[in-house]
Structure 1
Amino acid sequence: MLLINSIVGNIFQDPFLRDKFKKLSTEKCERIKISRIELEKNRFRRNTDKGTDVGIALESDKKLHNGDVLLDEIDKFIIVEQMPEKVISINIRGDLNMVKKIMPVVGHIIGNRHRPIQIDDEGVIYFPVMAESEIETFSHLFGNLVNHMDINIQERIFEPEDSLNVHEH
């Protein structure tokens, strides 16, 4: 078993690691596919897609993220790949005043259900769901505001806002 106690870096934050990852042959690059919920753990054991047995034992205040590099050696490069999950996306339509009016209400309703959120650069809000039927529940909770939104179910990599520290139920 290969024991990992620290993260080398992240391909989405470190240009050197990103370039190296892009240039690597598929034989040298191994992936550990993991769910978002499992990324919260700092101790677990997994096999890479090539069968390498990896034990992860990070400090208690550390957690993994999509794109984290666990090993960067000449003959082996191991990276964490987060698995996509079902999320609801909400795009608020209208002028800036409408968005300012609706955004806090939407945040309150989602937060009241203890769901973490992600907001992209265009202001689209994402949050995880257990079943597609939840779109009806949230549409009902949003009431008439739903007339100013595009609400969809997608499967994507969900990376919650770290600063909000929301726990899921």
Structure 2
Amino acid sequence: MLRLHGIIGRADDRTYAGRLHALEHRGGIELLFVPPEDAGRRRFRLTTDRGTDCAVSLDRDEQLVDGALLHLDSDRAIIARFGEEQVWRLRARDPACALKLGWHAGNLHWRVRFEDDHLIVLLDAPLDTYRARIQPLLDAGEVVERDRV
């Protein structure tokens, strides 16, 4: 379990932009999705999107906000996100289409995981932003959208 005490700053702060960008390229950004019922609490325990068990404690004068930077070192950063994790489930029509989809997901630096023959895209922005990037694959029926969770 990783103990996180206090808020370092905000993920969109220019002070951290370079370090966070470098970590993003190395897969070192972890998101801690904080459900609404925990958003006002001072102490809670949750697991990041990459499986890190975190015990979070905040001082009385700190207010957790969406995008709060809770941990930053040379290997990873942990950023708080409010609400439930949003994902987009995709399935390629055949192996050749799967290669195209995989190329796009990698080239666009999408955070993904795999479940059976589905590519699960972890959404950090509105779904339409992601959909626009692979619209030709969707229009051609090479990739099929399953459900959005």
Q: TM-score, normalised by structure 2?
A: 0.50
Point out the structure with the larger strand share.
2
| Larger Rg, first or second structure (1 or 2) | 1
Q: TM-score, normalised by structure 1?
A: 0.45
